[in-house]
Amino acid sequence: MKQRLGLVCNLFLAALVVAGGAFFIKNRGNKTGEKSAFLGLFDAETGKEYGAWEAPEGTEFAVEFIHSVNRSPVREMFRIEEYTIRQSAVRFSSFGAGMQSTLEEGQKLIRDGDAMIITGYTRTFASLDYIVGTVSDHVLFINDEQISLREMCGRNARVAFRVKKGSKK
């Protein structure tokens, strides 16, 4: 009788260990309190989803393009916060038409070689909209990936980035 009880206890403990291991493997990318989210790229008019990238709280991403008026590179940087997109900085190489020329309260202008970076933005977006370039590309940088929006969506496509809760699809 004691042996059976011991065997049952051991089997029960083994089951707990296996279940705990499976739970750990399933959730290993999530730190305690980390929210499951994805950055989705959609057609702004039809809602068709072009792609989605894992983007838990704090994920940073950027969109880079050649400014249509002053013809210089601009990189807009963002962070996922509370299922919204918060602008964190803008990097550009020349002032001119269409570029920010004054600092808002809390913003700083930093020189980085030939480039300038403005930090201290407080804007958040539920939907971040772009029109993909016809002459030059818009490029998404996220999770060590570099994605051509022109290749993914086509020239002159109206696209929107939105944070999605839960699973990728």
* DSSP conformation letters of the chain: -HHHHHHHHHHHHHHHHHHHHHHHHHHTTPPTTPPPEEEEEEETTT--EEEEEE--TT-EEEEEEE-TTT--EEEEEEEEETTEEEEEEEEES---TTS--SPPTT-EEEEETTEEEEE----EESSEEEE--SSS-EEEEETTEEEEHHHHH-TT-EEEEEEEESS--
pLDDT at residue 168, as a whole number? 59
- Tell me the average pLDDT across 133-141: 92
Question: With bands split at pLDDT 50, 70 and 90, how would you rate the model's confidence at 62?
Answer: very high
* pTM: predicted TM-score of the whole model, two decimal places: 0.75
Percent of the chain whose pLDDT exceeds 90 = 60
Q: According to the per-residue pLDDT averaged within each range, which of 7-21, 40-54, 57-71 is highest? A: 40-54
Residue with the bigger pLDDT between 102 and 164: it is: 164
As given in the structure block, the two tokens for residue 153 are 């969506």
Measuring CA to CA, how many Å separate 9 from each of 17, 21, 113, 136, 157?
12, 18, 66, 66, 62
Of the pLDDT bands very low, low, confident and very high (cuts 50, 70, 90), residue 166 is: confident
